[in-house]
Structure 1
Amino acid sequence: MAVSGTSGTSGSSTSGVTGSTSGIANNFDQFLTLLTTQLKNQSPLDPLDTNQFTAQLVQFAGVEQQLRTNETLGSLLSLSAAGTATNAVGFIGATVTADGTTTRLINGKADWKVNMASAGTATITIKDSKGSVVQTLTKTLTAGDQTYSWDGSTSVGTAAPDGEYSITIDAKNVAGESVTAKTQISGVVDGVDFTSSIPMLKIGSISIPIDKVKSVVRSE
């Protein structure tokens, strides 16, 4: 029987049953062993009700099946995570666009995609990676999608070095009311970080969650 593999670990029948690696839900011999063991050890003056004992075994089998289901789900999640990781690697070399405020200044040029709820005047503040303000200016923006380009010039007239810079837009419409200005960034993915639960696409030191990507363009 399935319990024979446990010989030598204990002299009792109960230990032989618990030591088996086969599951009760798909091992009829083990079911019978448990049944006979229970019958042998019950008090003749107060025997266990057969229906109660059967119900206990059915409950035990149900719990075991649930545990196996959980293991299967865990395996499926692992496979899904592996598939996501594989897909993330496929972004390397592609130009992606995602919601964000930080982009890279390269050779005196940095671009942000801006969406204005309505036309108006915007105070644009640009900061470096340390949070220091390098440029503040006022510009008229139209309603809808547009691109704001910065040439890297600072407020003191010098050229900012290449690196990561963030933008803040405080916009008001023609009536002087505050309006929302959404920004997006884009760049070529040069790496992937898997340390978090969601793979992060890397554009230099900028991290973009893979589920926040809005568009992907790959050069031929």
Structure 2
Amino acid sequence: MVVPVSGSAAFAAPAAQGSAGGQKSLASGDFETFLRMLTAQLKNQDPLNPMEGSDFAVQLATFSGVEQQAQTNSLLSSLTQQMGGGVGQLSDWLGREVRVTGPVWFSDRPLTLDINPDPRADSVQLVTLTAGGRELMREEIGVGEGQVDWFGHDALGNKMPDGLYTYRVESWQNGDKIAEAEVGSYARVLEAELARGGVQLVLEGGAMTMADEVQAVRDPRVQ
């Protein structure tokens, strides 16, 4: 059973913030200061007692060491800012509800589904499947696009078991199926972590999705 939703609290997903610009300028300033000091020392040295080659080599080695240390400090600062910003962004996901086309957990609360059938359809069917893709149920939901609340009742009115489900919408015209598409549904984010491919979200029920696969984000408190 589905019921149209009379509004939406969807908004854009959290975006990446900030950069570590400015660290290079600080590091390069240290290099320039050291170079000016060394140049001044060479210009002002006693011509009757010039700097020996070994001393000059020590100065250059010192300069090289300072340069490398400054670059290292700049890199560490940049990484720290990036990691700090990333962790801060991860916390922005927690408790939000995200719209995904992958499996979502159904229990005692209706799920919000985003329906977008083919506009040519004269009949639209919502197909409920297991997380593995096995069809469980299909129902007529009427033409038109928008969001509906899915209460998880079968044809006899019995509540479906708690578990992970996916959904598909099929568009029909004159008895022929003309299109089908995955249905986006909202699930609550329990955990967010930095993964090799980006930010990975752990949803209620244990389902996982990458942040760049999220279609929309909403705050459940303002529904």
Give the TM-score category using the shorter length.
Answer: 0.5 to 0.7
Q: 1:40 to 1:149 in 2, by over 3 A?
A: closer
Secondary structure in 1 aligned to 2:183?
A: strand
- Deviation sequence 1:161-196 (CA, Å, 0-9, x none): 11111112232456968346452212444x214263
Q: Which residue of 2 aligns with 1:85?
A: 90
Q: Which residue of 1 aligns with 2:74?
A: 69
- Deviation sequence 1:93-118 (CA, Å, 0-9, x none): x5x24132433332495542212341
* Identity within the alignment, %: 9
Q: Calculate the TM-score normalised by the size of structure 2.
A: 0.55
2:130–2:166 contact (8 Å) kept in structure 1 = yes
Q: Which residue of 2 aligns with 1:186?
A: 186
**Structure 1: distance between partners of 2:180 and 2:132:** 25
**Structure 2: distance between partners of 1:106 and 1:214:** 20
Higher relative contact order (CA 8 A, sep 6+): 2
Aligned with 1:215 (options 195, 214, 218): 218
Q: Which residue of 1 aligns with 2:160?
A: 160
1:98–1:214 contact (8 Å) kept in structure 2 = yes
Q: 1:64 to 1:31 in 2, by over 3 A?
A: farther
Secondary structure in 2 aligned to 1:160?
A: coil
Q: Calculate the TM-score normalised by the size of structure 1.
A: 0.55
Q: Which residue of 2 aligns with 1:133?
A: 135
Q: Which residue of 2 aligns with 1:206?
A: 207
Letter in structure 2 aligned against 1:98: R
1:116–1:182 contact (8 Å) kept in structure 2 = no
Q: Which residue of 1 aligns with 2:5?
A: none
Let me know the Cα RMSD of the aligned residues: 4.5
Q: Which has the larger radius of gyration?
A: 1
1:108–1:162 contact (8 Å) kept in structure 2 = no
Q: 1:142 to 1:57 in 2, by over 3 A?
A: farther
**Structure 2: distance between partners of 1:40 and 1:195:** 50
Q: 1:131 to 1:202 in 2, by over 3 A?
A: same
